[in-house]
Amino acid sequence: MEAAAVVLKEHISKTASLTEEELSYLASHFKPLSFKKGQVVIREGDKVEHEYFVLSGCLKAFYINDEVKMHILQFAMPTWWTSDYNALYTQTKATINVDCITDATLLSLSNADREKLCREIHQVEHFFRWRTNRGYVAAQKRLLSLMNNDARTRYEELLQLYPELYSLVPKHLIAAYLGVSRETLSRLYHTR
């Protein structure tokens, strides 16, 4: 618990300057949760009230097309944030799912508390602005990559960016992130 708060505080202090007091106040709004491998954090159709800061483990945020094809929007590793941000920001039902690829521990923050903290502490608003800025830029890069590059190039890019995924995440999930079929991904690295 204490360790959890420390990780969170360090993470936030990298982009915002908060006093120790403010950091503790901020941290007091987060609720620790643990999940087992395979457990669902957000289910399509749910009301979405929280976002999650990952302390340990690995999650995926994904969309299921006609009950069959899964596409992964984002993996979430330690110190990453995840949720269905569309649903969270617009107060609508979840259209994506979030679940745990491995056992995981998270800190949850409610939408209402985030907004409250942003109002109360200017530097907290600053932090969340920068966090989203980074996410936005990453999403734009991925869009370009999806349009410009073929599956093999995308695969190599991904491994270069997040080598840890290679061993951590089953290949069919990596395929679902890259936007190719399991079979194609398998061929990509067996037939060079």
Binding positions for DNA, rule: CB under 7 A: 69, 150-152, 170-173, 179-184, 186-187, 190
Which residues are CB-neighbours of 119 under 8 A, at least 6 positions away? 125
Of 31 and 171, the one with the shorter C-beta distance to DNA is 171
- Beta strands 97-100 and 40-42 are antiparallel
Task: For the chain, give percent helix, strand, coil, nearest 5.
Answer: 50, 25, 25
Which residues are CB-neighbours of 3 under 8 A, at least 6 positions away? none
**To the nearest whole angstrom, how small is the minimum distance from the Cβ of residue 173 to DNA?**
7
Of 111 and 186, the one with the shorter C-beta distance to DNA is 186
Nearest CA to 108 out of 142, 73, 70, 82 is that of 82
Q: Which does 186 bind (CB under 5 to 8 A by kind): its own copies, DNA, none?
A: DNA
**To the nearest whole angstrom, how small is the minimum distance from the Cβ of residue 96 to DNA?**
19
Per DSSP (E only), the strands in the chain are: 31-35, 40-42, 50-56, 59-65, 69-76, 81-82, 97-100, 104-110
Of 27 and 59, the one with the shorter C-beta distance to DNA is 59
Of 33 and 64, the one with the shorter C-beta distance to its own copies is 64
Positions in the binding site for its own copies (CB under 8 A) = 63, 65, 69, 71, 73, 85-86, 89-90, 118, 122, 125-126, 128-129, 132-137, 139-144, 146-148, 179
**To the nearest whole angstrom, how small is the minimum distance from the Cβ of residue 158 to DNA?**
14
Q: Which does 187 bind (CB under 5 to 8 A by kind): DNA, its own copies, none?
A: DNA
**To the nearest whole angstrom, how small is the minimum distance from the Cβ of residue 1 to its own copies?**
29
Rounded-to-integer distance, Cα 89 and Cα 124, Å: 17
Q: Which does 93 bind (CB under 5 to 8 A by kind): its own copies, DNA, none?
A: none
How far does Cα 132 stand from its chain's mean position?
12
Q: Which does 184 bind (CB under 5 to 8 A by kind): its own copies, DNA, none?
A: DNA
